[in-house]
Amino acid sequence: MKATEMIYIPLLLLLAYLIYFLKIAPSFYNSIFFLAAGCFILIKGSDFFVESAVGIASKLGISEHTIGLTIVAFGTSLPELAISGIASYQSHTETAWGNVIGSNITNVLLILGIAMIITAIKPSKFALKDSFSMLAVSFITIFLALDGVLQIYDGIILISLYIIFVYLLKGRGMEGEKRKPSLPPVLAVIFFILGIFGVAIGADAVVNGAVNIAVFLGVKEVAIAASIVAFGTSLPELSTTAIAAIKKHHGIAVGNVIGSNVMNLGLVLGFAAILNKIPINLASPAIIFFILVTLITPFILKEKWIGKKTGIALICLYVIFLLSLYWM
């Protein structure tokens, strides 16, 4: 067992205890610890998660892309589900829908962009088809919000769309992929559990640490909410997709982004709308960028190989998006 794996479980348990049970008063130094330890747990947890997902794909005869669309996407979207659900229940509706839309933009522009810079990406033969599914769910969401609010019945429609999307994945095979020797089934399950807990707790620790550090440094609360917290909910997607790219698991790297975006709209936003009415400003910069990103994704994924130039262009668009949130 590697040294990092020996450190992982004790540190994971320590973070869980400090965050959820002890609930120590924030200070500048323990915030730095949360930030650093959370990053380590998040990255190593994502590593476990990707390895287990590939093992599960191999054993079940399912393609990496499909695993990325479902299991990995669900695990990495848990922070969005928790935050948007709680925000909606507490009537912080702008946070509920802003978290979903912002996360979807971040997933494509920043996360997929970074993956393309790490290595040239070869999309699965299903990637383009699934990007059109994402396009359809996105524009149905906009259509439902044309009256300026998402109601409970809109939420039911969105969740139904997600169920249909997952159902349509049934029967997909390995696409002729050659699988490397995979983890034994028991070890794959253990890695999966360790990974999903690491991703969730690590992301929570990173957000807590970063927010507290920003407060101690005197950064405005609005800036914290719009940048650090929003970015924090996408950390699982970022770390999981980056690790998948490094390990050349292109199917998981792309599938995770598409699957997370569909889940964010269908399951996360749908669940939030069921809990509370969600007013949405369709003229906001976030919605405009959301439409733009949704439209360009199929054009990007139709290429056989996607490299650094496209990745840099996506990240530049992400910077413009962030600037638009503060200046438009």
Domain locations in the chain as residue ranges: 3-172+181-327
| Cα(32)–Cα(145) distance, integer angstroms | 41
Q: Which residue has the tokens 């690790």?
A: 243
Backbone phi and psi for residue 151, each to the nearest 5 degrees, phi listed first: -100, 180
| Cα(129)–Cα(297) distance, integer angstroms | 11
Q: Which pLDDT belongs to residue 328?
A: 65
Task: Name the DSSP class of 292.
Answer: H
Per DSSP, the chain holds a count of helices (H) and strands (E) of 17, 2
Q: In a structure prediction context, what are the per-residue pLDDT tens digits for the chain, which is 328 residues long?
A: 566 677 888 988 888 888 778 777 788 888 889 888 888 887 788 778 777 877 777 677 777 667 767 777 777 777 778 778 888 888 888 878 888 888 899 889 999 999 999 988 888 777 888 899 999 999 999 999 999 999 999 999 999 999 998 888 766 555 544 455 556 778 888 888 888 888 888 877 877 787 788 778 776 544 555 566 667 777 777 887 888 888 887 777 788 888 889 999 999 999 999 999 999 989 888 899 999 999 999 998 887 778 889 999 999 999 998 888 767 6
Tell whether the torsion through CA atoms of 67, 3, 232 and 89 is positive or negative.
positive
CB 296 within 8 A of CB 112: no
Question: 112: part of which helix (H) or strand (E)?
Answer: none
Domain at 3-172+181-327: CATH architecture? Up-down Bundle (1.20)
Q: Is-above-0.85 flag for pTM? A: no
Q: Which pLDDT belongs to residue 222?
A: 43
Backbone phi and psi for residue 217, each to the nearest 5 degrees, phi listed first: -85, 0
